[in-house]
Amino acid sequence: MKIVRLEYKGITHRKAFTLVELLVVIAITALLMAILMPALRRASNQSKAVVCQSNQKQWGNFFALFLSENEGRFEELGFHKWMDVLGSYSNAAPKIYFCPMAIKTVAEGGTGSMAAWEEDGMRGSYGTNYWIRKAGYPYLPSTYPADGWWESFDIRESSSVPVLLDCAYASGLPLHSDLPPEYEGDVSSYAEMQCMRFFSVNRHNGKIDGLFMDFSVRKIGLKELWNLRWHKNWNSANDPLPDWPEWMRKF
């Protein structure tokens, strides 16, 4: 009896991943993502901080152009007026009005320190030190120094006088007696006249970016805000610092 053998050519048997192997691969991928995500987030935030400082340097150029045409004085008629005054120099580039960390208003989903402001049809996430005005403001309480206005940018201590900073409102009139935010993202209404809270926004890991009267731009620690020379009579050497709330003590 003849035995017939059938050979199947070209057919190979592949070994598939087992369920255990797939679970191991997924676990390793998840672990790598958990390790890499904080680093990627930090890199992204650092990139946004660079863009934020670049925006403020551009605003510094616009301030310089305006001042060169106006005897070194900045006339600001309203809390949002700086946008109108300098807008013609910016060619209406909307991105430079916003810190990249705060591009959405509350109505658009922005929250706390990362929310942009919107008022009278204007939007942004930078605000001016209102004490840089050429003239005073008639409706301030007596606790605000009547002779505190800088009026001119041509001063000796220009490197310590803030002009434009990360801010939760278009402008502010800080006093050394202003209290820090009770919690991160606590931006009180302007009626309470606690203007330092507008600038105490945690956008850059315990810091904000700021433009100064000498047109330099640098990072400012949130606690350092009380040591800047916001107005002419600022005396941080003799005035005690506030009692820092829990969320600020780590900075």
> Structurally, how many domains does the chain consist of?
1
Task: Indicate the average pLDDT of the chain.
Answer: 84
Range of lowest pLDDT (33-37, 185-189, 243-247): 33-37
CA distance 183 to 194: 14
- Asked if residue 3 belongs to a domain, the reply is no
pLDDT digits (tens, 9 = 90+) for 186-199: 876 655 678 999 99
pTM: 0.81
Confidence of residue 23 (pLDDT cuts 50, 70, 90): confident
Confidence of residue 10 (pLDDT cuts 50, 70, 90): low
DSSP alpha helix (H) spans, 93-218: 196-199
- Asked if residue 127 belongs to a domain, the reply is yes
Pairing of the two strands 207-212 and 217-221 = antiparallel
Sheet strand arrangement including 122-124: 104-105, 115-119, 122-124
Sheet strand arrangement including 162-166: 171-172, 126-129, 162-166, 207-212, 217-221
- Asked if residue 140 belongs to a domain, the reply is yes
More confidently predicted of 117 and 36: 117
- Asked if residue 2 belongs to a domain, the reply is no
- Asked if residue 124 belongs to a domain, the reply is yes
CA-CA-CA-CA dihedral for 138, 141, 146, 148, to nearest 10: -110
Q: Which domain holds residue 100?
A: 19-248
Is the model's pLDDT at 150 over the cut of 70? yes
Residue with tokens 């201590």: 157
More confidently predicted of 4 and 60: 60
- Asked if residue 11 belongs to a domain, the reply is no
